[in-house]
């Protein structure tokens, strides 16, 4: 197996200019809230290190997490993710299908054992030995557990992979859970040694995914995590902390309906069920759709989708958070 080109070399081969590359490094430095001068450190690391192999396993999922990644802003997915990292297996985005796709996955795992990024999206069914979700005749539970043992980093992308999400909502007929729970006994036995990082959201903010990969390539480690395995640089503050409606919350000015005068003036949506004060995510800082907006800016409250059991919250989505 030949030496992989560096991320910068691959970007250059795809027509990305050095200016565009440096712009990406500066953007990532900002997104990751790194100290002044970190853009140069990122650039040096990405220009010298081989692009990583990424194995993306989808279990009980809706493809929303992949769709979110397709809308990553800086740079485009085509120039960063598909061409710059080695996305060796993703059954939605890859060209191969059937036995050829499964063989490519197994080959990539074998050739990159101990070095690849394992990304999991979708909840993992535990009942009936995982038979409720299979790929190529193999249970998703088995595929994830086997691949996790050779991973350098395991990223649970989306709330389903992180905490079970909608797949684990009551009455949870498939016995679904998140990747960390599916791997708990292997971690305890020392068979899985890679750090497990949760990137929740329904779907997750796409730049959080690219940010994690960039951080690891730059520093050779993962960023600090909170008690739910989420990167603190993205999940260290609540959605409420940086909401444009925060001044109205502090003045106790709350909209009473989605079309009343207060709502039109941008008043706080807490009384309409906004879960921003209880939800940790980067929605209001990085925003969505190329930095355009986020739910409260568009007039709807936060559903708390980055939190565990958000789908089963007592009272539903539109009850007051407190």
Q: What CA–CA distance (Å, rounded) separates 12 from 22?
A: 12
Q: Is 268 annotated as a binding residue?
A: yes
Q: Is 243 annotated as a binding residue?
A: yes
25 is an annotated ligand-binding site residue: no
Known binding residues for [3Fe-4S] cluster are 283, 302, 305
Known binding residues for [4Fe-4S] cluster are 62, 65, 160, 202, 240, 243, 268, 274
Known binding residues are 62, 65, 160, 202, 240, 243, 268, 274, 283, 302, 305
């Amino acid at each position: 197996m030949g030496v992989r080109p560096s991320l910068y070399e691959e970007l250059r081969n795809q027509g990305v200019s050095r200016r565009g590359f440096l712009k990406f490094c500066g953007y990532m430095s900002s997104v990751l809230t790194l100290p002044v001068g970190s853009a140069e450190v990122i650039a040096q690391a990405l220009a010298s290190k081989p692009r990583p192999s990424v194995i993306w396993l989808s279990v009980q999922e809706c493809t929303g997490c992949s769709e979110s990644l397709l809308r990553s802003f800086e740079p485009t997915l085509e120039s960063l993710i598909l061409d710059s990292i080695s996305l060796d297996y993703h059954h939605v985005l890859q060209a191969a299908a059937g036995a050829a796709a499964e063989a490519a996955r197994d080959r990539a795992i074998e050739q990159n054992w101990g070095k690849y990024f394992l990304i999991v999206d979708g909840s993992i069914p535990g009942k009936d030995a995982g038979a409720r979700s299979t790929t190529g005749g193999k249970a998703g539970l088995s595929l994830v557990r086997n691949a996790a043992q050779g991973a350098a980093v395991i990223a649970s992308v989306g709330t389903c992979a992180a905490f079970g999400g909608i797949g684990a909502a009551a009455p949870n007929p498939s016995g679904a859970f998140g990747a960390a729970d599916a791997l708990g006994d292997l971690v305890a036995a020392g068979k899985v040694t890679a750090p497990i990082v949760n990137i929740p959201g329904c779907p997750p903010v796409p730049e959080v995914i690219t940010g994690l990969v960039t951080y690891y390539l730059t520093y050779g480690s993962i960023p600090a995590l909170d008690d739910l395995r989420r990167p603190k640089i993205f999940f260290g503050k609540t959605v409420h902390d940086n909401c444009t409606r925060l001044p109205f919350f502090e003045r106790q000015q709350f909209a009473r309906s989605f079309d009343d005068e207060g709502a039109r003036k941008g008043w706080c949506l807490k009384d309409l069920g906004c879960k921003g004060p209880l939800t940790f995510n980067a929605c209001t800082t990085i925003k969505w759709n190329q930095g355009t907006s986020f739910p409260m800016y568009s007039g709807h409250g936060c559903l708390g989708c980055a939190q565990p059991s958000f789908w089963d919250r007592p009272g539903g989505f539109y009850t007051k958070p407190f």
